[in-house]
Amino acid sequence: MKGNYNNIEKEDMMLSITKIFCPTDFSEPSYKALKEANDLAKHFNAELVLIHVLHPLLMYPATIGAPGIVKTQVSDEVQRNDIAKKSLEMILKEKIDASLKSRSILANGNPADEIVYHAKEEKADLIVIGTHGFTGWRHLIIGSVAEKVVRHAHCPVLTIPAHDIK
């Protein structure tokens, strides 16, 4: 039995997208997803939010005779944050349409968990994420951030494959 949609206005049936989340790890697959997210944001006149997640550095206690280890690790973390912030700023300027409302988030932690958490906190309507296309043992070892985001996100997730679709 077909549904009766005669009494529903066209606007009621349209997907409402006002905020799009696009994770980036600064790889080509994530830039491919960003291009799609940029096009969707223009089409829907939506805000585009970039998110990059840094894995926390493992902190080892300084051993006797090596007091600079912890200090060096902390300065490495600060340097990684600075590089990531500058990279996000560059992407906002060079890869996102200037007419769009856009901004970035830099988070620390497990990438899939942080993407899902921030997308929910920010009330994202859509997540556009690139896939690296790992299979076999690489998929088992590395895991798939995109797969975990798809399973746990509160909103629809559009995955953009790394390979060309034919």
Residue 80 has pLDDT above 80, yes or no: yes
| Cα separation, 158 vs 59, whole angstroms | 35
Question: Domain 19-57+64-160: what homologous superfamily?
Answer: HUPs (3.40.50.620)
Percent of the chain residues topping a pLDDT of 90 = 58
Given a contact cutoff of 8 angstroms between Cβ atoms, the answer to whether 90 and 83 are in contact is: no
* H/E segment holding residue 42: helix 28-44
CA neighbor of 37 nearest in space, from 47, 27, 26: 47
Q: Within 13 Å, how many C-alpha atoms sit on residue 20's CB side?
A: 29
What is the chain's mean pLDDT, rounded?
81
List, for residues 3-24, the tens digit of each pLDDT value.
444 454 545 546 789 999 999 9
CA neighbor of 108 nearest in space, from 100, 99, 117: 117
- Please state the domain extents for the chain: 19-57+64-160
